[in-house]
Structure 1
């Protein structure tokens, strides 16, 4: 197994960070562009495992795409809702956006059959809420090869009829986003009705805003009901669609100056409008960090005045992808913190709540775990004792966010002599969304 031992920063971090494009925006834009009635270039796109899976699947379905990784752009020819392929096998790996968005898009195809599968981890991630809606609106899932409601499965499609699509999206906001994006192309008036609540609400807002940018939005929205006229296609009235840098990836570099001291400039992060995870700036503000917009960039540095007492509890339901960043650096805090609103992250790339608790305990920290929360009692002396003789190996569970968050913690000059004290197992898992993460991190080390 590949390992990477993190060398602590012996001087404050400094420099400029160029972040990759947002995975969430890139994969939504790929779907919306494919369903559009014209050709379009996506600029600033992310090239990573998750987006490559989406690109490969769209090509297999007959779409024309010309990716340019060197230029971070993708040219795609839209088909106005028409899907050419009809008897295709698609493997979505462990890409949740590809899994949910592609499955919903396939339902638009009349008289076709598709076989879908994913990685072992993806076979445990929720699909039932989406499949229940699609099978009540024309699709047929004749068999599941494993556990019902999960990958792998075959889906026979007959077109999306319309009517009322009642969806339980409590397990993943991607299920609701997937239905919203295909609803305008249904065969008649369609209402997407959310039963109960969904998690990570800002991602639903992202989906609706991007749909409007591509020329289509609900006729009305009321009490969790989204009404569409049906039989529409998308149209982006511009030659290129520019993708924002990844706000979730930015969370690691918002935290780095807090861990090491110093100041960082995050390029193009000053005017983020689609991504709720930019709200992590408020978490870092509570820890004493200042975030200022300069031109289009975001400059992160310690506040000139003390921040005061850090809150005892943080609710991460809306920005749950970033909870790992705070959890990982929590051993450096002075008082216990509770992180809540994270139950749904147990069904993501891994059980993220349990993974973070397990790895923090390796570092001598006291962690109380509930279904929806972590309470972490920092113990700096125990942290130093646990890492005194050799670096502690952090298991990453094939989860990029576990790897990146603990990578930031390891940058602390914990023992005061530059001695490494954390090793990351399987650092290559960062290829899912940020293939060059550790290279970018190393470039911020003062020479």
Structure 2
């Protein structure tokens, strides 16, 4: 479904208890990390189950601009073979469109440190408000020269790499995003000598995403010493030897993208199942089943004859508030959690998520604005969000803004399950991670399997 920004999408209501199985596309976080790691290697890597979305398309286009060959399988676009540039040297003189993708704007500048000339980075207008300075300060400590073409510390900019990349200790304040640490960790695999990254700030958000990067590096044969309690990470750089993922890598489903669908079982009643749920994962979305249980859902893990696990969530008689709750390990699923808590029978104080003010939009402000717009009660906290219980009959339909943020769009769809008259402006922004979201949502409500 293609809609213009001006058009609105009528969010369908749940006509009765749900009974659906929804297959979730590959993880955006893992897809883009694997694309980077494969590009840093010395031989081709075949990625299967790769997410096809705007963010991964932007990543592939960025890598190709830098001289990487990304060959999509004509019969299966979720299978891509990544061929690194010869000699491990990336092409200079490139223009990289970051769009609104945090993983592109914060991971690809590390690759540009290995190019044979300057790289120009730009993106969507809204991306020019997303902070970049901590990463660029770190790259400057490693010898980069940054020319800002607009506001200092933000896109657009031109990065000129050093003539030689030597490992050293780099200190940055990554309080605004864990992606700054991850971007430096990925680059560290290619330094000559050990590179140590130190976070100097008080709070470090989304530690599971850093753990994901560390595990992916180790999977690629890189030695990493992680000490998150002391906010220090050391990587044994391999120079031009770089990284080497296995010849074939399977991408897990995006567990954060499962949140709107599994959460729908609490709001609409009935059950929703997501197959291929990993037994062990570094994705923050892996915490979702535990959170849903606390809110009153029944969660089961069912195995098929091949041993693959399906996560099945059944809504309870009531949705419970979370009280004072630390959501810092899984900030990216906050909009979905907030949509569920709008219908809770108790108050919630979600803490540890102040960094969401620097995502695709200021998500805390956006959530408060849209919850208030429909007659709910919410307010910002210094480090999070407070949501008060309001009877469903006191809330009403409205046109919900998405702020070009895919998770605000799925938040709105969840609200529309229970409140009639919800219309969503720019539902197409979900193409960032789920290009087929509107149809997937309708098929879920129709009880159709999505294999």
Structure 1 length-normalised TM: 0.92
2:84 to 74, 78, 88: 78
1:290-316 alpha-carbon deviations (Å, 9 max, x no partner): 22211221111136xx78964312221
Three-state SS of the structure 2 residue aligned to 1:112 is coil
Change (3 A) 1:308 1:248: closer
Aligned pair partner of 2:35 in 27, 30, 52: 30
Q: In 2, are the aligned partners of 1:140 and 1:157 still within 8 Å (CA)?
A: yes
CA contact (8 A) 2:188 2:235 kept: yes
Match of 2:3 in 1: none
Q: 2:25 aligns with which of 20, 23, 47?
A: 20
How far off its partner does 1:404 sit? 0.3
Q: Counterpart of 1:227? A: 234
SS where residue 123 of structure 1 aligns? helix
Question: Of 67, 91, 94, which aligns to 1:88?
Answer: 94
* Conserved? CA contact 2:274–2:310, under 8 Å: yes
Determine if contact 2:58/2:98 at 8 Å carries over to the other structure: yes
Confirm or deny: 8 A CA contact 2:318 2:345 kept in the other structure: no
User: 2 CA distance for matches of 1:377 and 1:225?
Assistant: 38
Q: Which one is further off, 288-297 or 197-206? A: 288-297
Q: What is the correspondence of 1:144-293 to structure 2 with a 5 Å cutoff?
A: 144-158=148-162, 159-196=164-201, 197-218=203-224, 221=227, 223-230=230-237, 231=239, 232-237=241-246, 239-293=247-301
How far the C-alpha of 1:198 sits from its partner, in A, is: 1.8
Q: What runs of 5+ residues in structure 2 fail to find an aligned partner?
A: 1-5, 304-308
For each residue in 1:350-385, what CA deviation from the matched residue of structure 2 results, as whole angstroms up to 9, or x when unmatched? Answer: 0000000000111112222223222111212xx535
Task: Determine the C-alpha separation between the residues in 2 that align with 1:401 and 1:220.
Answer: 30
User: How far is the alpha carbon of 1:195 from its aligned partner?
Assistant: 2.0
Q: Report the Cα offset of residue 426 of structure 1.
A: 0.5
Q: Provide the C-alpha distance between the structure 1 equivalents of 2:369 and 2:113, rounded to a whole number of angstroms.
A: 40
Residue-by-residue CA offset, 1:379-434 (whole Å, 9 max, x unaligned): 12xx53552xxx3100110011011012012112x4xxxxx321111100000011
Distance 2:197 2:381 in 1: 33
Please give the TM-score of this superposition, normalised by the length of structure 2: 0.91
* TM-align CA RMSD: 1.9
Does the Cα contact within 8 Å between 1:215 and 1:234 map onto a contact in 2?
Answer: yes
* 1:437 aligns to 2:437 (yes or no): yes
Displacement after TM superposition at 1:229 (Å): 3.1
Secondary structure at the counterpart of residue 332 of structure 1? coil
Cα deviation per residue 1:212-254 (whole Å; 9 max; x = unaligned)? 11111225758333223322411123x3100000011111112
CA distance 1:370–1:309, shift in 2 (3 Å): closer
Asked if 1:300 is matched to 2:326, the reply is no
Consecutive unaligned residues of structure 1, counting only runs of 5 or more, are 415-419
* Distance in structure 2 (CA, Å) of the matches to 1:9 and 1:346: 31
Q: Cα deviations across residues 55-101 of structure 1 (Å, max 9, x unaligned)?
A: 00111111111124762111111248723311111110100001110
Q: How many residues align?
A: 431
